[in-house]
Structure 1
Amino acid sequence: MEENTPSSLPEKALNLSTFFCLYIAQAIPMSFFSTAIQVLMRQADYSLSSIALLQLIKLPWILKFLWAPIIDRQCITMKDYKRCIITSEIVYALLILSVGLLDIKTDLYLIIGLVFLSLIASATQDIGTDTLAVLSFGKRDKSLVNSMQSMGSFGGTLIGGGVLLLVLQRYGWQSVMPCLGVFVLLALIPLLSNKRMNIAAKEPAKRAQLTDFIWFFARRSIWKQIGFLLLYYASIIGILSVLRSYMVDLGYSMKEIGLLIGIVGTGAAFVSSFLAGLLVRKIGRYRSRILFAVFILLTTIYFMCISWTEPSLPMLSAGIVLLWSAYGMATIVVYTTAMDCVRKGCEGTDFTIQTVLTHLSGLLMAFLSGVVADRVGYHGLFIFEVVLAFVSLLYIFCFFKKESQPTYS
């Protein structure tokens, strides 16, 4: 099966904008739900332990590798992928609209149940979208479509976790939800109108089996990539996980924290992920791995240095921009190399497994960073993150060579 590469700049731009719309359609509602419901539950005097259980609604995005082989097996042609994405998106929108008909004060648990179902639909759309992205772009342009994925994610966080909270406060739950549902449907327009996007039909012998997510780990050649996925931005995740607490301890208000992290930081990640996609395309995977790993190391060193004293607002702001920029850059290398490591016929399964591994690594790193910070303080934690970033850089030199990445099969 040959990969399809858009033949002209307008066609490539149309395809990239199509994927950006699909990715941001996933991100905005999910970010809004995870943030808004927590705020509303706390305002209604729910316990912190009850609010913590809300994290379980994200389980579909952790477990989506279980049904990714079904998508790989059933979707053969471009028409199949469009049908999968459009159906999932419509179900997603209908569930969001249903949530908008309920009262958050009296129907909270029903709302959480519907949100959980909506994220199953969203995760299914993501599998189809990721697979289509792998198949629609050649190796040279995969970093560009991954820029669209990261920009959609960060843009969705900026809007869903920031702007829409202000809209919610002014207009209320039952006004915001229908708008979200309509937005998800509108995001389908570029895909529906894009007649030029095309992929080669899969070979029958390469169709995925339901157990293919297990055989992903049976290849010896994949383990260096797994180590890379677990290590590459673990140090950045570690700092991000304690950043809000660190700012609270420095005396910043919730409004200031929201502005600096939710707008300045996320905005920096949005821009850096776009620039990183262009850079990966220009200098290649190997040099990008090293360059961004060095940037991550310098960022952790910066936080270690400013933790010796109480940083000023400009110093902390610079650190936040560096941190989120490093995160945005790192996601491009992670997603792009993950696309290089998929087997024919199992593109959705293999890419999904790799993204899930990064999510699990992030959860583990967030927990570990909290434990380390409790024991040795922020300064000790930042030293730990410097060591981890340095180990990640050494790992690249040891396990990856300058030659172009092979296609795993």
Structure 2
Amino acid sequence: MPRHRFALLTSLYAAQGLPYGFFTLVLPAVLREAGWSLTALSLLHFLALPWALKFLWAPAVDQRGARRSWLLGLQGVSIGLALALAWADLAPGSVALLAAVLLFNALAATQDIVTDGLAVRWLAARERGLANAIQVGAYRLGMVVGGGGLLWLYAQTSWPVVFTVMAGLLGLTTLPVWRMAEPERPPVSPVSVAPTTGASRLHLAWGWLHRAMTPGMLSCAALIFCFRFGDQMVSGVVIPFLRDQGVDKASLALMKGGVGSMACLAGAAVSGWWMMRVPRRDALLWTGLAQSLFFGLYIVVALGGGGLPWLWAATVIEGVVGTMATVALFALMMDASDPDHAGTDYTILASVVVAVGSLGTLAGGLVGDYLGYVWAFGIGAVLSAVGCVALVRWLDRHPPHERVAQAWRSVSA
């Protein structure tokens, strides 16, 4: 992969992780301390709704306008929003802060449509494991800074300082976009014709439905749901569980925002190397099953064993193995995306990932509130393993199209 593309993709994915890392780490910790229930905290994940709904506007973003202009505009608005929040009078849990989280997610989700489309069009199948390692690793790097770093800064200072620093960091991630050369558009197709009439605008607005109904797309979406639901049940209640185990905010910032995120970076680096050497099938099967197995560490602690050392071990192992499973899944999603409609196809599948995250987190919160953490972790682990096996067995017999079939059992595609 050329260096300028590496730098551009790294900076854009890191820009998405910066605000997300801060909001997903600090808000649950602060609001749990304020007395919010697990179910109420799980509802915070619905502020990520733009990530689940971005398929609705993906065709318009994917087929209209210059990609460089989209990226500069979206990054610029994000920087302006961070600076505006620096001057706002905010309190944890305020309506203004929650609305800002929603808007940040909408901007980042739209930027992701453009970025993912570039990645799918630029990369051959063999490079996609490395590309998704960059995607996950850079996103996690943004979360390290935005989660652990800005959480620590918030503990020492105030909201205005945090958002000013966030604006500066987002500005740095925008620099590679200025040097980006605008890539060529794919050949014109019925969905990609620039709209000039009301009928054609309506066609473009519903272009996501046309792409969703292409052969194999719905089956891929269902398989993603199976693969991710269980692990999202577990991960959605981990931070409240740590707080209820007596882990203070400073230790939580170090454990999840620092060490945990560094473990994810290590997992991304390992998976980028490994996935250039193994077929998609092996990568998904072994990382998915390993992730399910290691969820048992949380079950042991919830039963009263292990204590803090086991929580540290779970954080590191989950970071490495869970990231490897995510990279493998994202590479499969790129395989399933048509390069001529890359932003739309990948966005549809990525929206499923986000929707599963919200639903899985809600399910974990409900089970945790009514049955306890042991049941939440146990059910999540079992569903994670079953979903992994279901995905592999289905694709063994029914690869949706040739792009997936070539990468499924081969590393030379």
Q: Same fold (TM over 0.5)?
A: yes
Change (3 A) 1:206 1:401: farther
State the Cα distance separating 1:37 from its structure 2 match: 6.2
State the Cα distance separating 1:151 from its structure 2 match: 1.4
Secondary structure of the residue aligned to 1:396 is: helix
Change (3 A) 1:401 1:246: same
In 2, the alpha carbon distance for the partners of 1:58 and 1:221 equals 26
Change (3 A) 1:239 1:30: closer
Do 1:250 and 1:310's aligned partners in 2 also have CA atoms closer than 8 Å? no
User: Aligned residue for 1:391?
Assistant: 386
**Structure 1 residues 66-75 or 245-254, which shifts more?**
245-254
1:133 lines up with 2:138 in the alignment? no
User: Aligned residue for 1:60?
Assistant: 50
User: Aligned residue for 2:88?
Assistant: 102
- Counterpart AA for 2:402: P
User: Aligned residue for 2:289?
Assistant: 294
User: Aligned residue for 1:204?
Assistant: 188
1:406 lines up with 2:402 in the alignment? yes
User: Aligned residue for 2:234?
Assistant: 239
Do 2:141 and 2:261's aligned partners in 1 also have CA atoms closer than 8 Å? yes
In 2, the alpha carbon distance for the partners of 1:366 and 1:108 equals 22
Alignment deviations for residues 6-31 of structure 1 (CA, whole Å, 9 cap, x no partner): 4xxxx2x3312221111111221233
1:317 lines up with 2:301 in the alignment? no
In 1, the alpha carbon distance for the partners of 2:19 and 2:306 equals 35
Q: Please, which runs of 5 or more residues in structure 2 have no aligned partner?
A: 193-203, 405-413
Secondary structure of the residue aligned to 1:141 is: helix
How does the TM-score come out when normalised to structure 2? 0.83
Change (3 A) 1:405 1:291: farther
1:31 lines up with 2:27 in the alignment? no
What's the RMSD between the two structures over aligned residues? 3.3
Aligned length: 391
1:260 lines up with 2:261 in the alignment? no
For residues 176-191 of structure 1, the aligned pairs below 5 Å read 176-191=162-177
Comparing both chains, which one has the higher relative contact order based on Cα–Cα distances under 8 Å and sequence gaps of 6 or more? 2
User: Aligned residue for 1:173?
Assistant: 159
User: Aligned residue for 2:201?
Assistant: none
State the Cα distance separating 1:394 from its structure 2 match: 2.4
Sequence identity, in percent?
Answer: 23
In 1, the alpha carbon distance for the partners of 2:393 and 2:249 equals 43
- Counterpart AA for 2:223: F
State the Cα distance separating 1:341 from its structure 2 match: 1.2
Change (3 A) 1:112 1:205: same
Q: Please, which runs of 5 or more residues in structure 1 have no aligned partner?
A: 1-5
1:124 lines up with 2:110 in the alignment? yes
State the Cα distance separating 1:300 from its structure 2 match: 3.0
User: Aligned residue for 1:3?
Assistant: none
Do 1:16 and 1:144's aligned partners in 2 also have CA atoms closer than 8 Å? no
**Structure 1 residues 108-117 or 363-372, which shifts more?**
108-117
Do 2:55 and 2:344's aligned partners in 1 also have CA atoms closer than 8 Å? yes
Change (3 A) 1:22 1:386: closer
In 1, the alpha carbon distance for the partners of 2:378 and 2:29 equals 33
How does the TM-score come out when normalised to structure 1? 0.83
Change (3 A) 1:68 1:320: same
1:356 lines up with 2:340 in the alignment? no
User: Aligned residue for 1:155?
Assistant: 141
Q: 1:86 aligns with which of 72, 80, 88?
A: 72
Secondary structure of the residue aligned to 2:396 is: coil
Do 2:294 and 2:317's aligned partners in 1 also have CA atoms closer than 8 Å? yes
User: Aligned residue for 1:339?
Assistant: 334
Change (3 A) 1:393 1:168: closer
In 1, the alpha carbon distance for the partners of 2:260 and 2:27 equals 22
- Counterpart AA for 1:188: T
State the Cα distance separating 1:153 from its structure 2 match: 2.1
In 2, the alpha carbon distance for the partners of 1:233 and 1:107 equals 29
Change (3 A) 1:101 1:376: closer
**Structure 1 residues 239-248 or 268-277, which shifts more?**
239-248
**Structure 1 residues 102-111 or 129-138, which shifts more?**
102-111
State the Cα distance separating 1:131 from its structure 2 match: 0.8
State the Cα distance separating 1:383 from its structure 2 match: 3.4
